[in-house]
Structures are given as C-alpha cells and as structure tokens.
Amino acid sequence: MTFGVQAQRSQYNRDAVLSATPVRLLTMLYDRLLLDLNRAATAQQGEDWAVATENLLHAQAIVAELSSSLNVDAWEGGEGLLALYTYVSTALISANIHRDIERTRESIALLEPLRQTWHEAAGQLPSQAAPASSGGTLGFA
C-alpha cells in the first residue's frame, strides 16, 4: 500500500470516528476489540509473539476505554459489565505475559456475545445525528 493510500485511509478512519454517534462508536470499539483478539489468538497459535503482544495490548487499551467510559449508575447491569471488563482486562494481561491462548479465547467467548448484542441494540435505535462528543448514550459518559 502506498503512503498516499495509507494517509487517505487513516484520514477516513479518523473522520468516521469523529462523526460517529455514541452508539456507533461503541459498536466500532467492540468490532476492533474482537478483531484484535482474533488476530492475537491467530498469532499466539503461530507463536508470533510480537504480533500477539501488539494486538493484546491494543485490546487491553480498548477494554480500559470501555471501562472508564462506562456509567455504572445509568442502568442496573452497569456493575456487572464493569466486573466483566475488569476480568477480561486481567485475562488479557495474563494471556500476554504467559503466552496463554486459552485466556485469549476465553476473552473472545465472553466478549463476542456482547458485541453482537450492542450491534442488535444499535440497529433498533432510530438514526441519530448527534456527534460522539454528546455522550451519555447506553450508559456511557
């Protein structure tokens, strides 16, 4: 890929994130999180530890963002979701340190149903024109 194409793709991705509604931003985060985890599992299976580490670290950053933006008081499931994020964060650290593909797979198994559920919920909401900076949707500040 040429530099010009990479720059255009990067700008497109930045624009997509900046113009996304809070709900769309959440589904984008989950999509990227599961992409990172699947890439990490593939790399772990092939013993490509550098690629596995890169993807696990990015996944950890996404889980940290999801945790920090979660408003646990907005709905009764908030505490449980925060506990899940904390568990997954610890599992990803362990998967990385101990090169443990089973911890990565466990994280995928825990998060994939959530990704699907957020996508289904987002599909049921009316179109929103508000930018991501408006915050507060689905219990996220």
Q: Is the pLDDT of residue 44 over 90?
A: yes
* Phi, psi values for residue 109, rounded to 5°: -60, -35
- CA atoms 55, 56, 60, 62: torsion sign: positive
**Which range in 7-16, 25-34, 118-127 is most confidently predicted, on average pLDDT?**
25-34
The model carries a pTM of: 0.80
Counting the structural domains of the chain, the total is 1
- CATH number of the domain encompassing residue 65: 1.20.120.340
Residue 34 located in a structural domain: yes
Residue 108 located in a structural domain: yes
The residue segments making up the domain with residue 102 are 23-112
Q: Is the pLDDT of residue 100 over 60?
A: yes
Q: Is the pLDDT of residue 114 over 70?
A: yes
What are the DSSP calls for 43-75, one per residue?
A: HHHTT-HHHHHHHHHHHHHHHHHHHHHB-TTSS
Residue 103 located in a structural domain: yes
